[in-house]
Amino acid sequence: MASNGNNHVSTKPPPEPSPLRKAKFFQANMRILVTGGAGFIGSHLVDKLMENEKNEVIVADNYFTGSKDNLKKWIGHPRFELIRHDVTEPLLIEVDQIYHLACPASPIFYKYNPVKTIKTNVIGTLNMLGLAKRTGARSEPSSLCTYYLVLGNVGPLSHHLFLVQNRILLTSTSEVYGDPLVHPQDETYWGNVNPIGVRSCYDEGKRVAETLMFDYHRQHGIEIRIARIFNTYGPRMNIDDGRVVSNFIAQAIRDEPLTVQLPGTQTRSFCYVSDMVNGLMRLMDGENTGPINIGNPGEFTMLELAENVKELINPEVKIITVENTPDDPRQRKPDITKAKELLGWEPKVKLRDGLPLMEEDFRDRLGISRKK
């Protein structure tokens, strides 16, 4: 309380508390590495990260499945850097966060060079964990991992110091569950995986990557996050990458029959890419190590998916059946209870809303207009 000289007493309300008081981690500028950032999910993640003007984003990609075209709007931007780099080789840069997405996720690509695929999963993850260890992604404060920022005039927080800790996020996969005997799959399920099949380079490679993440966490105190991502679809998918949604949409646009692998009753759950990116960022910025399933629990048989694509994109195409590939899981559906409860995340985009957005992107790249 204070007098204004005329014996009137005025009161000054207390200052509003800064929202930074609730933030455990705060840093004015974040240098964020995205491995595989020229790929499908990675490039959408880059778009979202670049929306924050405090972020500097570095992409490392060998362009095996990724493309510069996915990042063309950021090339030359002062807060963006693109490095042609294979994660099986060490990378010596300074970063605050690592989103480790690098690995071919399509059966066509990872079966093309299975040895390279498992090296990417194992050696690539080792190299990124080594980078995280060197740059200070520790779960306990230490002189190697603590960044201090003196804040300016932020009311009651003036002259306070904030601890910033680095961390690494691995995009693992629902393939760690193999051909599951539990349905839907939650994170406690250890899986049913063939260790010597044609898909094993990817499935087992991701399982080893998860092991390495937790071993570095336990042995070196590295701040880790593990997302088990389920089938994802949307713009920028490789048109002929062999995954079912891209196959069906490309076939429908080209007036080709939709080829459903037998028996057609096998199920998958499809998450739109914007929902996936939001889930990954919530996991990275939250306080839960994981693993956490990120996916859409809406479940469709392959025949149901084909019928949806036919109805929405090209009602004139036929649906035919073809032989299946070895070790194809019979069912796949995420239990996202942990994502809901721990991250406050769940998908928003329904399949019938997302498919037309993907169709538009595919038509643009294929140069095929919709029939009138």
| Alpha carbons 176 and 161: distance in angstroms, whole number | 41
- pLDDT, one tens digit per residue, over 237-256 is 999 889 999 999 999 999 99
Residue type at 352 in one-letter notation: R
Start-to-end CA span in the chain (Å): 74
| Residuewise pLDDT in 10s, the chain (372 residues) | 444 444 444 444 444 433 433 444 444 589 999 999 999 999 999 999 999 999 999 999 999 999 999 999 999 999 999 999 999 999 999 999 999 999 998 888 888 999 999 999 999 999 999 999 999 865 554 333 333 333 333 333 333 333 445 899 999 999 999 999 999 999 999 999 999 999 999 999 999 999 999 999 999 999 999 999 999 999 999 998 899 999 999 999 999 999 999 999 999 999 999 999 999 999 999 999 999 999 999 999 999 999 999 999 999 999 999 999 887 889 999 999 999 999 999 999 999 999 999 999 999 999 999 987
Per-domain residue ranges for the chain? 21-233+272-295+333-348
Q: What is the C-alpha radius of gyration for the chain, rounded to an integer number of angstroms?
A: 23
Q: How do residues 168-214 score in pLDDT, each as one tens digit? A: 999 999 999 999 999 999 999 999 999 999 999 999 999 999 999 99
Distance, CA of 253 to CA of 236 (rounded, Å): 16
**Active-site residues: which are they?**
202
Amino acid identity of residue 273, one-letter, is: V
Q: How far is CA 92 from CA 72, 89, 95, 148, 328, in A?
A: 25, 10, 10, 23, 39
Closest CA to 37 of 128, 114, 113: 128
Residue tagged 């981690």 (tokens):
25
21-233+272-295+333-348, what's its fold?
A: Rossmann fold (3.40.50)
Whole-angstrom Cα distance, residue 130 to residue 216? 9
CA–CA gap between residue 142 and residue 279 (Å, rounded): 29
> pLDDT tens digits for 19-30?
433 444 444 589
Round to whole Å and give the CA distance between 104 and 106.
6
DSSP string, 310-327: HHHH-TT--EEEEPPPTT
